[in-house]
A and B are shown apart, each in its own frame.
Chain A
């Protein structure tokens, strides 16, 4: 039933294209950096996910070759998208005084990590030097 498979591939391609487009549109349309971050960090995960699903289907059925690369691409995207989003947000907060003043206070927690000075005592408490894992005794 190649026509049904072709239909499914086409549907995935359209869904993927729509979400990637909306993600990019959000990046261009929304008014400030923090709101703009929402577009690319989310809309692209489903968009690219659908495109990759189409790719897997196509190569599986049409070329008779299973594609594992697509799964890896999805995995790498899920690992990198939040990290880059987080770094952009941190840089934005760090450079804008008015944003810093609008943040909910985190005073008794040592302040926000991007802005605050961490006391050495706290750092030592958070990072106990435990090199021996649970199975190191074996």
Chain B
């Protein structure tokens, strides 16, 4: 019963909150409309979300967010340096394969997004069976080291959040 009308309570609540924040002016009308919107959107899109990701371990989420924020700052400085002071053709760019231990699609999506936002790497593709990511490195001589860093720094922490 509850699963039928409210397939994703967290999604519905988030959408309602975002709606209230967007109106930037608290009123009960906005809250009601936001809730309605959240319910409708989460119901209409539930076909695409057959599973509900289990999220627990809130301290781990906060730790992960902090680490990613810090890495974004570092990666911006690093990439800015490479863009400004290196000739484009002298950058040793290459693709690497990152084998995944994560299994939930939501966790893989978060990892792919994190890789794109952090030091010198962009997620390019996922293998057909979902067990590896194709990552493009802007500047690297140590492909194994890059893969190991991604796995130990991000994937290990995501395992604790999602599994």
A binding-site residues for B, Cβ under 8 Å: 18-19, 22-23, 25-26, 29-31, 34-35, 37-39, 41-43, 45-47, 49, 67-69, 71-72, 78-79, 81-83, 85-86, 89-90, 93, 102-104, 106, 109-114, 116-118, 122, 126-136, 138
* Interchain CB contact under 8 A, A82 and B116: yes
**CB neighbors of A among B106-128 (8 A):** 112-118, 120, 122-128
* Interchain CB contact under 8 A, A69 and B123: no
With A43-B83, A89-B136, A106-B134 given, is the CB distance from A82 to B112 under 8 Å? yes
With A22-B83, A82-B116 given, is the CB distance from A89 to B123 under 8 Å? yes
The prevalent SS among residues of A at the interface is helix
With A39-B83, A72-B22 given, is the CB distance from A104 to B97 under 8 Å? yes
| A109 nearest CB across to chain B (Å) | 4
Count of CB-CB pairs between chains A and B under 8 Å: 160
| A72 nearest CB across to chain B (Å) | 6
* Interchain CB contact under 8 A, A35 and B124: no
With A34-B93, A45-B76, A104-B134 given, is the CB distance from A29 to B88 under 8 Å? yes
**CB neighbors of A among B64-90 (8 A):** 72-73, 75-76, 79-80, 83-84, 88-89
A-B contact pairs, 8 of them (CB 8 A): A34-B93, A34-B136, A43-B76, A46-B76, A103-B95, A104-B96, A113-B125, A133-B52
A109–B125 Cα distance when bound, in Å, is 13
* Interchain CB contact under 8 A, B123 and A31: no
A46 surroundings in chain B (CB, below 8 A) = 72-73, 76
* Interchain CB contact under 8 A, B75 and A111: no
Residue of A nearest to B93 (CB): A35
Is B145 located at the chain interface by the 8 A CB criterion?
no
* Interchain CB contact under 8 A, B83 and A112: no
Is B45 located at the chain interface by the 8 A CB criterion?
no
Sort A-B residue pairs by CB-CB distance and give the 8 closest, nearest first.
Answer: A110-B128, A133-B52, A82-B116, A46-B76, A89-B124, A82-B113, A109-B127, A26-B83
* Interchain CB contact under 8 A, B122 and A38: yes
Specify which of A19, A79, A114, A134 is in contact with B52 (CB 8 Å cutoff). Answer: A134
